[in-house]
Structure 1
Amino acid sequence: MAQNELSGFFATADLASPERVRDALIEIVPLLTREYGELAATVAAEWFEQVHPGAFLAQTAPDTFPTAGVVENVRYHAGSLFTDDPYRTLAGLSGSLQRFILYSGRETVARNVARDRTKPRFGRVPTGAKTCAWCSMLASRGFVYLTRETAGLVSSDYHDDCDCQIVPEWESGSSHIAGYDPDRLYAQYLSAREASGSGDPKVIAAEMRRQFPDDFTDGVHDH
């Protein structure tokens, strides 16, 4: 919904005046982030209460993605407004906007799990038809993460258009999510690790892209 509003703005914007469009985006994108971020937080709190009923009343994250970070990102992508391909700004901001908004939902889950005395483990769960090799590698570990930091539940651990969610598990071995197969992902990870001869996660992820190009959004096809 937020991306549709952003696209609607671009459809009517006077791209011949890049300075005005940039200044308008500096106002609009933080507003969209706040409006839809609050909605994402509410939905996340409702979801938490559904999957962990009777524990306590879930709280929404008190803040949306920091405005200073949003504005900095807008200024970066707005550079394309001054080129012969101004719509690169829209493409870049659409991906960033998704990350800004989902931050509120992820943060809501994290805060409520932190309040939970049962101390559930986390799993990093991709939600799209495909995701990138790096996120798939993190997801291959299943529900093993003990803290929000090791689960990647901080804003710097997500890229634009990232479809991952951090999901808590209260009963070990009982969580089965349609489309999420950590055993298959882990087998791909082990195959790539052996082929690369490296323990460096970046090297392993690069090998996963080459070995299983059709499984990842950033797969590499050798020609």
Structure 2
Amino acid sequence: MAQIPRAALDYLTKEINGISADAKTKVLRVLKELDWNDAPACRDAVVDVVNAVLDNYGLAAGQAAADFFDVSREMAVGEKLGATATADRDPAATEGAIRAFVDNVNDGDCDAFERLVLSRIDYEIKRAAGTTMMENAARDPLSPRFARVPSGGETCKFCLMLAGRGFVYHSKKTAGEFGHYHDNCDCRTVASWDKDGVEGYDPTAYHNEWLGRENFTIPEAKLTRYSLCMESERGRDKAIAFRDALGFTEEDAGEIMGQVYRWVGEHEPAFRESGKYGDSYTTDMVMVGKSGKTARVVVGWMKDHGKDKMRLTTIYVARRKG
């Protein structure tokens, strides 16, 4: 048995993203040439080109996933399955979506129509890759389990919920929610034949982050415009402390948010006091920075009267005693 290398999963994600980008580029060329004075003709032209592109590129994404499945299986059990690709497409559903998108053109917003069409292409291509993985797992006599494994820089809350479940599914039927994909989604459906799974995949951490995002709110601007912003008169000292102690700058706001969400998903903040606007709380945590640096970070929260979620009010690196 062997753990699936993270580099292999990252390569698959790069492949699928490249396939999606190429498909969107081809369709975008057609979209830019449309003359919407004849809306029905334009709509039909878009339906035809999108379905034609997805027939080819969806299958290409499926083949990339099938190749990954076979490589992973060979690493785990010493033998490939002979995985097959599928686009699992419903052209009528694609047409229905495009017809609905045309309402934006009727309202004079052609840019919105283009964005929605390109988003649909990305969704269907990533769905083809995920479906290929699930269908090959379902027909594998070794009955591998599969999981949703994040592989990008940011992961949406719904995907975090799925990722937090670990390798728990045996078939496409029992994993209905795995059909969820969205624009720029870098989560991959991955099969595993043993307990080793994927390098760096920690379902407990993803579950905690999901819990954190369910119960807490971190306005990104609190980081990028204040606590990590060297240009902020009031936040500069905090930004310097984050840089010196952890190597973090404005570009690392997403990483900081992820770590805070994971921490509060597992550790309840400490109550401080009640005030005019609500109850204040504090989190005292250990944050891991670049190159393995660690530092104590304090986070302030406010639970406004009548609200369920706590919102971040301040965050800073605690000064070292002595």
TM-score normalised by structure 2 residue count: 0.56
1:165 match: 188
Aligned pairs, how many?
A: 203
Shift in Å, 1:160: 4.4
Residues 56 and 37 (structure 1), Cα distance of their counterparts in 2 relative to 1, 3 Å cut: same
Aligned with 1:132 (options 143, 151, 156): 156
Q: Give the Cα–Cα distance (whole angstroms) in 2 for the partners of residues 77 and 182 of structure 1.
A: 36
Structure 1: tracts of 5 or more residues without a match: 193-203
2:114 match: 90
Percent identity, please.
Answer: 27
Q: 5 Å matches for 1:111-190? A: 111-152=135-176, 155=179, 157-172=180-195, 174-178=196-200, 180-190=201-211
1:55 match: 80
Q: Give the Cα–Cα distance (whole angstroms) in 2 for the partners of residues 163 and 76 of structure 1.
A: 26
Q: Give the Cα–Cα distance (whole angstroms) in 2 for the partners of residues 211 and 145 of structure 1.
A: 32
1:10 match: 31
Shift in Å, 1:25: 0.7
Residues 89-114 of structure 1: per-residue CA shift (max 9 Å, x gap): 11011111111122222222112111
Structure 2: tracts of 5 or more residues without a match: 1-21, 221-253, 262-308, 314-322
2:50 match: 29
Equivalent position SS for 1:151: helix
- Which structure features the higher share of strand residues? 2
Q: Give the Cα–Cα distance (whole angstroms) in 2 for the partners of residues 153 and 189 of structure 1.
A: 16
Residues 189 and 43 (structure 1), Cα distance of their counterparts in 2 relative to 1, 3 Å cut: closer
1:70 match: 94
Residues 47-75 of structure 1: per-residue CA shift (max 9 Å, x gap): 111111223211222x5310110100110
> Which is greater in Rg?
2
Question: Contact between 2:146 and 2:167, CA under 8 Å: does it hold in 1?
Answer: yes
Q: Give the Cα–Cα distance (whole angstroms) in 2 for the partners of residues 183 and 211 of structure 1.
A: 21
Question: Cα RMSD (Å) of the superposition?
Answer: 2.8
Considering Cα pairs closer than 8 Å and 6+ residues apart, tell me whether 1 or 2 has the greater RCO: 1
Q: Give the Cα–Cα distance (whole angstroms) in 1 for the partners of residues 98 and 90 of structure 2.
A: 13
Question: Contact between 1:44 and 1:105, CA under 8 Å: does it hold in 2?
Answer: yes
TM-score normalised by structure 1 residue count: 0.78
Shift in Å, 1:181: 3.7
Letter in 1 for 2:56: E
Q: 5 Å matches for 1:205-220? A: 207=215, 210-211=217-218, 214=254, 215=257
Shift in Å, 1:16: 4.2
Shift in Å, 1:8: 1.4
Q: Give the Cα–Cα distance (whole angstroms) in 2 for the partners of residues 36 and 26 of structure 1.
A: 15
Equivalent position SS for 2:99: helix
